[in-house]
Amino acid sequence: MAAEDVLDQLRKARIVPVVRTADVELAELAVAWLAEAGFRTFEITLTIPGAVDFIRRLVDGTPYLVGAGTVMSVEDASRCLDAGARFIVSPAVVSELPPYAGAAGAATMLGAMTPTEVRAARLAGADAVKIFPASSAGGPAHIKALRAVFPDVPLVPTGGIGIADIGDYIAAGAALVGVGGKLIDEASLRDGEREKFLLVARHALASV
């Protein structure tokens, strides 16, 4: 599978859960419940202790499309790609990542907020540009403004996006959205509130 095929799958998913939990046990539970709700694409952030091994277990044991988030170096990317990650996400313009990941057939999203950063991300070879943090950057209006000058760049707003906001971001021109804490509530995971968690997850899927 080439990077463009991965990007096509991400576009079809429309929502990528950004799994960032305090420990890997909560991450495992989050993915299990999200999958039960209907999600099949996951970004596992490297801030989770044991994230790379978790990525490997997901890749080896499930049919899901799994990527790595908060990737800040080629060394990080190498470990994630070796584990089977199909897409690499960074919150910054780390210019070394796209050619490295692309050679392995993985897609890359580099982080940006301003037009200058979006341009830099694309010049570096990013398949898509993660607009982060989306909520504090101006929300859907910011995405619409960026789309006006970068109509051919797949924009992926992430950061502070509420479930009720997902449709507005898509309508503003986002190729897909990354949703973290508003979708993956750690308190619900810790307290075993499965039905509450599933309700939120299914509501998110229904919004697109």
Tens digit of pLDDT per residue, the chain (208 long)? 799 999 999 999 999 999 999 999 999 999 999 999 999 999 999 999 999 999 999 999 999 999 999 999 999 999 999 999 999 999 999 999 999 999 999 999 999 999 999 999 999 999 999 999 999 999 999 999 999 999 999 999 999 999 999 999 999 999 999 999 999 999 999 999 999 999 999 999 999 9
Domain covering 3-201, topology: TIM Barrel (3.20.20)
3-class secondary-structure state, position 144: helix
Residue 92: count other Cβ atoms within 10 Å of its Cβ.
16
| pLDDT given at position 1 | 77
Q: What is the CA radius of gyration of the chain?
A: 16
Cα distance between residue 183 and residue 108, in whole Å = 23
Q: What pLDDT is attached to residue 115? A: 98
Which positions are catalytic?
43, 130
**Which residues touch 199 (CB under 8 Å, ≥6 apart)?**
none
Query: Would you state the pLDDT for residue 99?
Result: 98
Give how far Cα 157 sits from Cα of 61, 76, 82, 192, 205, Å: 29, 22, 27, 29, 16
